[in-house]
Amino acid sequence: MKPKKYFVSSFILLLLLVAAGASRAAVKSGYHCSDCHTMHNSQDGRPVATELNTSTYTFEADTTPNQFLLVSDCTGCHTSTGSSTIVNDTPIVFNTFTLVDPLAGGNYYYVKSDDSKGHNPAGITSQDSVLGLTPPGGTTMAAQLRCAGQYGCHGDRSAGNEYTALKGAHHADDSGGVDGSSVGLSYRFLKGVVGKEDPDWEQDNINTSHNEYKGSTGPSADTISYLCSRCHGNFHTWTGGASAVGTSSPWLRHPTDIALKASGEYANYTTYSMTAPVARPDPDNVPDTTRVRPGTDIVMCLSCHRAHASPYYKILRWDYKSPTLSTALSGCNVCHTSKN
Distance CA(129)–CA(160), nearest Å, equals 25
Q: Does 215 sit near ligand HEC (CB under 6 A)? A: no
- Please state whether 329 falls in left (phi above 0), alpha (psi between -120 and 50) or beta: beta
Residues 6+ apart with CB under 8 A from 129: 115
Are 152 and 146 in contact by the 8 Å Cβ rule? The answer is yes
Contact with ligand HEC (CB under 6 A): which of 24, 65, 131, 182?
A: 131
Cβ pair 335, 303 in contact under 8 A:
yes
Mark residues 94-123: x for contact with ligand HEC by CB under 6 A, - for none.
Answer: ---------------------xx--xx---
- Check binding of 91 to ligand HEC (CB under 6 A): yes
Contact of 274 with 280, CB cutoff 8 Å: no
Q: Does 92 bind ligand HEC (CB under 6 A)?
A: no
Interacting residues of 318 by C-beta distance below 8 A, sequence separation 6+: 275, 276, 312, 325, 330, 331
Q: Which stretch binds ligand HEC (CB under 6 A): 3-11, 96-104, 212-220, 253-261?
A: 253-261
Minimum CB–partner distance for residue 2 and ligand HEC (Å): 29
Nearer to ligand HEC, 3 or 175 (CB): 175
Nearest distance, CB of residue 1 and ligand HEC, angstroms:
30
Task: Name the residue nearer to ligand HEC (CB basis): 5 or 164.
Answer: 164
Let me know: does 251 contact 186? Beta carbons within 8 Å. no
Binding mask 156-195 for ligand HEC (x = CB under 6 A): ------xx--xxxxxx----------------xx------
* 232 is a contact residue toward ligand HEC (CB under 6 A): yes
188/233 Cα distance (integer angstroms): 21
Per CB under 6 A, the segment of 4-12, 88-96, 202-210, 214-222 that binds ligand HEC is: 88-96
- Which residues ranging from 32 to 71 are in contact with ligand HEC (CB under 6 A)? 33, 35-37, 68, 70-71
The smaller minimum CB distance to ligand HEC, of residues 52 and 147, is found at 147
Q: How far is the CB of 265 from ligand HEC (least distance, A)?
A: 9
Give the dihedral sign, CA 154/193/212/224: negative
Kindly determine how many residues on this chain lie close enough to bind ligand HEC according to the rule CB under 6 A. 87
CA distance 79 to 157: 22
- Taking the least distance from each CB to ligand HEC, the nearer of 99 and 145 is 145
Distance between CA atoms of residues 95 and 102, nearest Å: 9
